[in-house]
Amino acid sequence: MKRPNPSSTRNGRRLTRRALLIGTAQFALMGGLALRMRSLQLKQAEEYRLLAEENRINIRLLPPARGLIYDREGRVVADNEQNYRIVMIREDAGDVEQVLQKLGELITLDPDRLEKAREEMARRSPFVPVTVAERVSWDEIARVTVNAPALPGIVPEVGLSRKYPYGSDLAHVIGYVGPVSDYDLNRIDDQDPLLQIPRFQIGKTGVENKLERALRGSAGTQQIEVNALGRVMRELDRREGNPGSDIQLTIDTRLQSYIEARLEGESASAIVIDVENGDLLACASAPSFDPNLFVRGISVPDWQGLNEDPYRPLAAKAVQGTYPPGSTFKMITALAAYEEGLLDPEETVFCGGFVEVSGNRFHCWKPGGHGNVNLHESLKQSCDTYYYEICQKVGIEKISEMARRFGLGIQHEVPLSAVAAGLAPDRDWKLRVRGTQWRVGDTVNASIGQGDVLASPLQLAVMTARLATGRSVTPRLIHSIDGVETPSGRGTSLGINENALRRIRAALDDVSNHNRGTAFGSRITDQENRLAGKTGTSQVRRITQAERDAGITSNEDLPWERRDHALFVSYAPAEAPRFAVSVVVEHGGSGSGAAAPIARDVMLQALYDGTPPLSTYPQNVRARISEQQRRIDAMIASKFAASDRA
């Protein structure tokens, strides 16, 4: 058997030839590597050795200036102010304690800050600069700079920090920034090297948080040569970053400040929305807090104070708080029935003070009942029995569907923290969440906005704007980013029967302008700017039969946290709506007593873009109103005097 020798065949010769060719190519490429090594290590060695040793190249990040936030009138509501701080680089310092001691002889150091800095230095890499003193005066900076040779690793820096000139008035809208924490770093998936800068400030809540990316901008870099002492020899290269985008809000700060002052002493919230385009002119929650406290890092007692306050100042109640909408929900029930053709507006229902539904007794708010009421009267006098009757014909599914068309039970897209979705309950929801079947009694409760129905003040304002216009108005908080306007929230027609809307609006007009309307006391007497609205009083808990028997029927007999929530939704002018206002006063008692007067005052401020003439108020309250106005003016003035000093 003859074994063919591969190299003797034609094929084998080709293999040898090609192997040699590839082998030669490989060695040529290796030669290339050797040449490259020679050029890097021998020819340019001096240059690189210099870079590496005598002058180390440092790459520094240049933090961009954070975008400013303006209100609709162009007032700066989130500003950057310069401050000086002193940082220390452990690697360059050598003996950290000795250097800190020397530094302590030159300037006063805060022991808490120092403790934090030591901890941070132990944790981070040696070349990461750590802040040892913040908000240092110019004199102190000068002293440190003069003594720089004796303070290795100490570098004075100038930085920008956030300032909120309007303090607590816009705290819930703008939110606040704070130093990036390990918790933030773990939570957000963000490769931005800026976040590695110690104590870099990022938005924690509100618009500052939701529009963080736009506001932050991008980092610039600076390549510098420093000598062995850490002195900057020269700048090799500098690439400027992009400053953050400026943002303009739709908020009118003047109106917002007025509302915050007007709500003083209550746990309440109010929304003002422009029905034309959905602009949120005000979004106020009271009490509030000073966001500037958080920028510096809030102290423990301050934090505990805010957290333990029963009025919950940290919560942005206007968007986060959800309440049973009470009687402000009745328009939804009525429209659902009307759309289904189950409601004749002229037909009357007899209200005898209560209705029995499957063995349970449901009370109207008026003990003796309203007698015969039609749709118009039921809204004007806020009769409950009327809705107990019609809702049973419509059923919960249609009611909740109508609620969602009006923006209840769905989360509106507003760049604020924890915007509540509220709840428009239906059979499916109850089965899923509660695990029980929907019952007629649930529908009866829901028909007057009690039971499971939940809505936030923002949702109520949107609902009112949609009632007033018949369009799917959506709220808009950001007017423009870097001068580019965001889409308007004008919306398109909801497709609701215009006749039905007209009747509802006529009834809402009478609520505050007819002498038997529930909000007659809070009317606007200027006929051009008549207020249309609906009161709501939502029970926090059911009044038990035992309490009823013991004579406890009114709120004044109850402790604060068990009193009813007071609600009022409104729009004006009644004939040609411009603004919608919703007000919720937590445990305020009744809608007509606690919420409607606030809504009227706020509405007038919005309509007149300033303090309205007294003639717009009914004769009997003018003296009290002018006293109130003086008090509020003084309150606003003193607040700004204080913030100017600080």
Partner 1 sequence: MSYLEYNVKYVPSGFRKLFYVNWQIVLLLLAIAGVGFLMLYSVAGGSMRPWVEPQMQRFAVGMVLMFIVAFIPIWFWRNVSLLGYLLAFGLLIYVELFGAVGMGAQRWIDLGFMRLQPSELMKVTLVMLLAAYYDWLPANKVSHPLWVAFAVFLVLVPTALVLRQPDLGTAILLLSGGGAIIYFAGVHWAYFATVIAAGIGAIFAVFQSRGTSWQLLQDYQFRRIDTFLNPANDPLGAGYHITQAKIALGSGGWTGRGYMQGTQSRLNFLPEKHTDFIFTTLAEEFGFVGGIALLGLYALVTLFCIVAGLQAKDRFSALICLGIGVTFFLYFFVNMAMVMGLAPVVGVPLPLVSYGGSAMLVLLAAFGLVQSAHIHRPR
Active site residues: 327
* Residue nearer to partner 1 on the CB measure, 42 or 484: 42
- Of 40-48, 249-257, 378-386, 630-638, the segment contacting partner 1 by CB under 8 A is 40-48
What stretch of H or E contains 460? helix 457-469
Distances in whole angstroms, Cα of residue 318 to Cα of each of 25, 185, 348, 418, 510: 74, 29, 36, 11, 27
CB of 222 to partner 1, least distance (A): 10
CA neighbor of 499 nearest in space, from 277, 333, 341: 341
Residues from 57 through 96 that contact partner 1 (CB under 8 A): 57, 59, 61
Is 3 a residue that touches partner 1 (CB under 8 A)?
A: yes
Torsion of CA 452, 444, 397, 511, to 10 degrees: -90
> Interface with partner 1 includes 37 (CB under 8 A)?
yes
- Spatial CA neighbour of 247 closest among 81, 413, 66: 66
| Choice between 196 and 411, CB closer to partner 1 | 196
Helix, strand, coil share (%) of the chain residues, nearest 5: 45, 20, 35
* Given 44, 227, 304, 554, the residue binding partner 1 (CB under 8 A): 44
**Any contact of residue 8 with partner 1 (CB under 8 A)?**
no
Q: Which residues contact 299 (CB under 8 A, 6 or more apart)?
A: 293
Residue 493 touching partner 1 (CB under 8 A): no
- Spatial distance between the Cα atoms of 271 and 263, rounded to a whole number of angstroms: 12
CB of 419 to partner 1, least distance (A): 32
Q: Please give the size of the binding site for partner 1, defined by CB under 8 A.
A: 48
From candidates 90, 237, 347, 416, binder to partner 1 by CB under 8 A: 237
29-53 burial: b if 16+ Cβ within 10 Å, else e: eeeeeeeeeeeeeeeeeeeeeeeee
- Between CA 63 and CA 91 the distance in angstroms is 22
CB contact at 8 A, 537 and 566: yes
186 binding partner 1? (CB under 8 A): no
Report in angstroms how near the CB of residue 119 gets to partner 1 at its nearest: 21
Query: By CB under 8 A, what part of segment 213-232 binds partner 1?
Result: 219, 221, 223
Can you give the length of the chain in residues? 646
Window of 53-61, 154-162, 204-212, 399-407 that interacts with partner 1 by CB under 8 A: 53-61
Binding track, positions 315-354, relative to partner 1; x by CB under 8 A: ----------------------------------------
**3-class DSSP state of 609:** coil
Which residues between 17 and 36 bind partner 1 (CB under 8 A)? 18-20, 22-23, 26-27, 29-30, 32-34, 36
Show the DSSP H helices in 81-202 as ranges. Answer: 90-93, 96-106, 111-123, 138-146, 171-174, 182-187
Q: Compute the least distance from the CB of residue 182 to partner 1, in Å.
A: 20
**122 contacts partner 1 (rule: CB under 8 A):** no
CA–CA distance, 300 with 279 (Å, rounded to integer): 37
CB atoms within 10 A of CB 237: 10
- Least spacing, CB of residue 189 vs partner 1, in Å: 14
Q: Return the H-helix or E-strand segment holding 300.
A: helix 300-308
What are the residues whose beta carbons fall under 8 Å from the beta carbon of 137, sequence distance 6 or more?
84
**Cβ closest to partner 1, residue 127 vs residue 560:** 127
Q: Which is nearer to partner 1, 229 or 623 (CB)?
A: 229
Q: Give the residue with the Cβ less far from partner 1, 17 or 393.
A: 17
Q: Which residues contact 136 (CB under 8 A, 6 or more apart)?
A: 83, 84, 85, 86, 107, 144, 156
Among 28, 97, 108, 125, the residue binding partner 1 under the rule CB under 8 A is 125
| Cβ distance to partner 1 smaller for residue 44 or 304 | 44
269 φ, ψ to 5°? -150, 155
Closest to partner 1 by CB, 223 or 643: 223
- Minimum separation from the CB atom of position 63 to partner 1 (A): 13
Residues within the interface to partner 1 (CB under 8 A): 1, 3, 5-7, 9-11, 14-16, 18-20, 22-23, 26-27, 29-30, 32-34, 36-38, 40-42, 44-45, 47-49, 51-53, 57, 59, 61, 125, 127, 193, 219, 221, 223, 237, 239
